[in-house]
């Protein structure tokens, strides 16, 4: 890799690592995680809906 | 005799020359290896190469041709495989220090299938760590070396775009096939969930992982899909029964087919004006081929579906890595570690509710296809971004989530940056043939897929 390209990549990796200096989960990702759970838990699911499973067989549109 | 532009040759073109004994698999392999030698220091598409092994496979392919035993259209065709796909005797590190110098004893099912088809493995292509978002490799976009090629199949896309392989294999758990293909001006299909066996491939998320190929044309993509698809008892999610001959769809008449397009300011609204403009022109081109265009309403639960998708990925990824994470957590990169940590916080009930949301979403997406044959959207919200972050997979996620087939074809260049733009075609479950038919007809009428990265 050309030297400048190498330096840019190393700087990027260092910046990525610095985002986690206060813990394994950033506040932004924690918020996103909580938001995802809120959406899933508040979604009204009919009783007959089962968990998505590895698909088998044919399903017509 | 090899043309000067061997690296721009399609699989179909090379296969015809090999069959006619006008092109030797050894010459073809040597040409790709020479191009890799020249360009790899700048593009960084490969995780590991094995030129000796490739040349040996090419010599065997050549001997078979001379003996009159051509195994099919992939016979003697050099390819690369994403470095989460196991290759016997060739290191498979999955872009992670946690996996170190793992050398598998056996091939993944797709590698065995390609070996049976006579294809020549050049090496393994760079990936983000375990095909997750984050842990980006140093791979560059051949259209502009200051930009990302996308990911997680970063090296697979860049290698074909730079003419360093005839085709490559990648995987998609969110948007890791369609997005990098679009960013690199390539054609790529994410088939129906279960179409291709994942046996021998590191899992990112069992119920979301798909395998597909990066090629220059739809015709080439159909050739590879035919070779790699099929039932496999070692991957219980594979579709049972006979696989359709996908190349038959290359001859379909698309006149009178119907394509749906969602509202341009909704979920699939691109952030770059050039993407919207290119899509409009591509839709006009399809209209002129006799395809009817209809506006469609997307399911109301798009955001909930995205949340369920992310939740399932976190839970399944955490479960898959649990044993290794327990003993080697510090070997993982921080972005992947973040997702695994969140996965371990999830309850079984949250995981199951997320999977139930996915069932609702898949059913709603299937209803979309009651009045249309295919759905058209931009392949990406933006052009490839400067730097190393691999870009947004949001436009590709819905079809991964629902297990529906999707494909991208190049439809133009951004006038300002000369970067490629892609159009995503999606279909109902097991509806690959319609995507191949429309995509191929579009490519016979336009020339965007023939443009090569200016390296």
pLDDT tens digits, A4-43? 999 999 999 999 999 999 999 999 999 999 999 999 999 9
Please tell me the least confidently modeled range out of B52-56, B98-102, B217-221: B98-102
pLDDT at A52 over 70: yes
Q: Is the dihedral of CA B50, B52, B57, B58 positive or negative?
A: positive
Domain boundaries, chain A: 12-41
| Least confident span in A47-51, B64-68, B389-393, B413-417 | A47-51
Mean local confidence (pLDDT), B91-113 = 95
pLDDT-above-70 percentage for chain B:
99
The alpha-carbon gap from B368 to the nearest alpha carbon of chain A, in Å, equals 8
3-state SS assignment for residue B415: coil
Which helix or strand (DSSP H or E) is residue B322 part of? helix B302-328
Q: Which residues pair with B376 in a beta bridge?
A: B425
DSSP state letter for B246: G
Q: Which chain B residues in 260-289 lie under 8 Å from chain A, judged by CB atoms?
A: none
Establish if A1 touches chain B: CB-CB under 8 angstroms: yes
Helix (H) or strand (E) holding B368: helix B348-368
Joined together, the tokens standing for residue B139 give 């791979």
Q: Which residues are registered as beta bridge partners of B425?
A: B376, B407
Q: Would an 8 Å CB–CB cutoff place A56 in contact with chain B?
A: yes
CB contact set of B26 (below 8 Å; sequence gap of 6+): B55, B58, B59, B62
Residue B201 CB partners (closer than 8 Å, separation 6+): B84, B85, B86, B108, B110, B171, B209, B211
What is the nearest CA distance from A29 to chain B, expressed in angstroms? 8
The pLDDT value recorded for residue B338 is 98
What is the per-residue pLDDT for B262? Answer: 97
State how far the Cα of B57 lies from the Cα of B118, in Å rounded to an integer: 8
Residue B369 has pLDDT above 60, yes or no: yes
Q: What value does the mean pLDDT take over residues B156-164?
A: 98
Beta bridge partners of B87: B90
Is the pLDDT at B31 greater than 50, yes or no? yes
Distance from CA of A55 to the nearest CA of B (A): 6
Residue B219, C-beta contacts closer than 8 angstroms, at least 6 positions apart = B10, B11, B12, B247, B250, B440, B443
Domain B254-296+371-449 carries which CATH code? 3.40.190
Spatial distance between the Cα atoms of B32 and B181, rounded to a whole number of angstroms: 20
The answer for B 349-378 residues in CB contact with A (under 8 A) is 350, 352-360, 362, 366-370
CB proximity A9 to B under 8 Å: yes
Interface membership of B301 toward A (CB under 8 Å): yes
Shortest Cα distance, chain A CAs vs residue B21, angstroms = 38
Q: How far apart are CA B438 and CA B392, in angstroms?
A: 26
Residue B108 has pLDDT above 50, yes or no: yes
B258, B335, B398, B455: best to mutate for the A interface, most A CBs within 10 A: B335
Q: Do B356 and A29 touch (CB under 8 A)?
A: no
pLDDT band at A58 (very low <50, low <70, confident <90, very high): very low
Residue B100 has a pLDDT of: 79
Q: How many CB pairs under 8 A join A and B?
A: 119
Which pLDDT does position B295 carry in this prediction? 97
Is the CB of A10 inside 8 Å of chain B's CB atoms?
A: no
The answer to whether residues B106 and B200 touch, using CB atoms and an 8 Å cutoff, is: yes
Residues B211-242 have pLDDT tens digits of 999 999 999 999 999 999 999 999 999 998 88
pLDDT band for position B257 (cuts 50, 70, 90): very high
Average pLDDT in the B35-59 region? Answer: 98
> Which residues in chain A are contacts of B350 at CB distance < 8 A?
37, 40-41
Mean pLDDT computed over every residue of chain B: 96
Is the pLDDT score of B201 beyond 70? Answer: yes
Instruction: Assign domain B6-249 to a CATH class.
Output: alpha beta
Interface residue A29 vs chain B (CB under 8 A)? yes
Residue A49: left (phi > 0), alpha (psi -120 to 50), or beta? Answer: beta
Mean pLDDT, rounded, for B170-180: 98
In the 8-state DSSP scheme, what is residue B236?
T
pLDDT attached to residue B321: 97
Nearest Cα of chain A lies from the Cα of B261 at a distance, in angstroms, of: 17
Nearest-Cα residue of chain A relative to residue B366: A61
Q: Which of A25, A52, A59 has the highest number of chain B CBs within 10 A, making it the mutation to test binding with B?
A: A52
Tell me what percent of the residues of chain A surpass a pLDDT of 70: 85
Around Cβ B167, how many Cβ atoms within 10 Å? 27
pLDDT for the residue A54:
55
Q: Where do the domains of chain B lie?
A: 6-249, 254-296+371-449, 302-362
Confidence of residue B21 (pLDDT cuts 50, 70, 90): very high
Q: Which residues of B are catalytic?
A: 82, 152, 176
Q: Is the pLDDT of residue A57 over 50?
A: no
Nearest to A61 among B140, B337, B366 (CB): B366
pLDDT in tens, A1-14: 688 999 999 999 99
pLDDT of residue B75: 98
Give yes or no for A15 touching B (CB within 8 A): no
Name the residue with tokens 């179909």.
B12
- Quote the pLDDT of residue B239: 92
- Smallest Cβ–Cβ distance between A40 and the set B41, B354, B387 belongs to B354
């Amino acid at each position: 890799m050309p030297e400048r390209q190498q330096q840019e990549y190393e700087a990027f990796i260092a910046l990525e690592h610095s985002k986690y200096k206060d813990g394994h989960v950033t506040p932004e990702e924690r918020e996103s995680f909580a938001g995802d759970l809120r959406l899933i838990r508040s979604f009204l699911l009919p009783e007959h809906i089962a968990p998505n499973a590895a698909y088998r067989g044919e399903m017509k549109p | 005799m090899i043309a000067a532009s061997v690296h721009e040759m399609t699989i179909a073109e090379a296969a015809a020359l090999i069959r006619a004994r006008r092109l030797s698999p050894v010459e073809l392999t040597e040409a790709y290896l020479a191009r890799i030698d020249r360009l790899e220091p700048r593009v960084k598409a490969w995780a590991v190469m094995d030129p000796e092994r490739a040349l040996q496979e090419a010599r065997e392919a050549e001997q078979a041709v001379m003996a009159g035993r051509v195994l099919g259209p992939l016979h003697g065709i050099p390819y690369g495989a994403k470095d989460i796909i196991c290759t016997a005797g060739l290191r498979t590190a999955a872009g992670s220090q946690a996996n170190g110098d793992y050398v598998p004893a056996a091939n993944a099912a797709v590698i065995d299938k390609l070996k049976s088809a006579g294809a020549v493995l050049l090496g393994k292509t760079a990936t983000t760590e375990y095909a997750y978002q984050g842990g980006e490799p140093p791979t560059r976009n051949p259209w502009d070396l200051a930009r990302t090629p996308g990911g997680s199949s970063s090296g697979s896309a860049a290698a074909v775009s730079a003419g360093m392989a005839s085709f490559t294999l990648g995987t998609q758990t969110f948007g890791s096939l369609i997005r990098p293909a679009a960013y690199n001006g390539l054609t790529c299909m994410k088939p129906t969930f279960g179409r291709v066996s994942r046996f021998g491939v590191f899992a990112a998320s069992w119920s979301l992982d798909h395998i597909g190929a990066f090629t220059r044309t739809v015709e080439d993509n159909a050739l590879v899909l035919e070779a790699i698809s099929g039932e496999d008892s070692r991957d219980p999610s594979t579709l049972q029964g006979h696989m359709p001959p996908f190349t038959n769809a290359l001859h379909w008449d698309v006149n009178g087919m119907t394509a749906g397009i969602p509202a341009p300011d909704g979920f699939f609204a691109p952030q770059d004006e050039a993407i919207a403009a290119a899509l409009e022109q591509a839709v006009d081109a399809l209209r002129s081929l006799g395809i009817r265009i209809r506006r469609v309403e997307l399911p109301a639960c798009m955001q909930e579906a995205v949340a369920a998708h992310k939740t399932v990925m976190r839970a399944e990824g955490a479960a898959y890595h649990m044993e290794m994470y327990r003993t080697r957590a510090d070997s993982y990169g921080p972005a992947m570690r973040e997702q695994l940590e969140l996965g371990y916080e999830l309850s079984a009930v949250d995981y199951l509710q997320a999977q139930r949301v996915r069932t609702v979403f898949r059913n709603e997406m299937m209803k979309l296809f009651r009045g249309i044959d295919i759905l058209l959207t931009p392949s990406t919200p933006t052009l490839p971004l400067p730097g190393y972050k691999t870009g947004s997979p949001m436009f590709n996620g819905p079809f991964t989530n629902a297990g529906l087939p999707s494909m991208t074809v190049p439809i133009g260049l951004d006038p300002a940056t000369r970067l490629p733009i892609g159009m995503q075609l999606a279909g109902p479950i097991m509806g690959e043939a319609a995507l191949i038919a429309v995509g191929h007809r579009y490519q016979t009428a336009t020339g965007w897929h023939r443009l090569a990265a200016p390296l």
